[in-house]
Amino acid sequence: MEIRLSGYQIIEAAEEYLKKHYNVVPGVPGGNTFCEAWAEIDHHDIEYQRTASGQLKRKNGQYIVDEEKSTQFKRSFPVETSLELSLDFVVVPRSEVFANHESTEEDEEKA
């Protein structure tokens, strides 16, 4: 299932949330406040350290991040005119989610 929202729809949903949960009516005559919305995209492209044979290195069961090769993309945009949010939902059986995951004691406690 895909949900796709334009910037204006995101603002409308946020205004409805503010009104319902905080009794704040932004952006309308007679409202409590004016709301200017900006979206901040903070994306990390993470690279992991590898052995000479190409295997991922681990420390305490966790992959080791290669800080030199990893990059970060961080930008801000006005929501109303520059943003479209697309969410893709896929139903996956729980058994498939953890099939390739090495369980830890913490994971087993949560299950």
Integer Cα distance of 87 and 84 in angstroms: 10
Longest dimension (CA), the chain: 66
pTM of the predicted structure, to 2 decimals: 0.50
Q: Which two tokens stand for residue 85?
A: 């949010």
- Residue 108 amino acid letter: E
Q: Is the dihedral of CA 54, 60, 65, 68 positive or negative?
A: negative
Cα–Cα nearest to 102, from 75, 71, 63: 63
Q: What pLDDT, in 10s, does the model give residues 14-46?
A: 888 888 998 887 766 555 555 677 888 888 899
pLDDT at residue 10 greater than cutoff 90: no
pLDDT per residue as tens digits for the range 60-109:
989 999 999 999 999 888 887 777 888 888 887 877 766 655 555 454 45
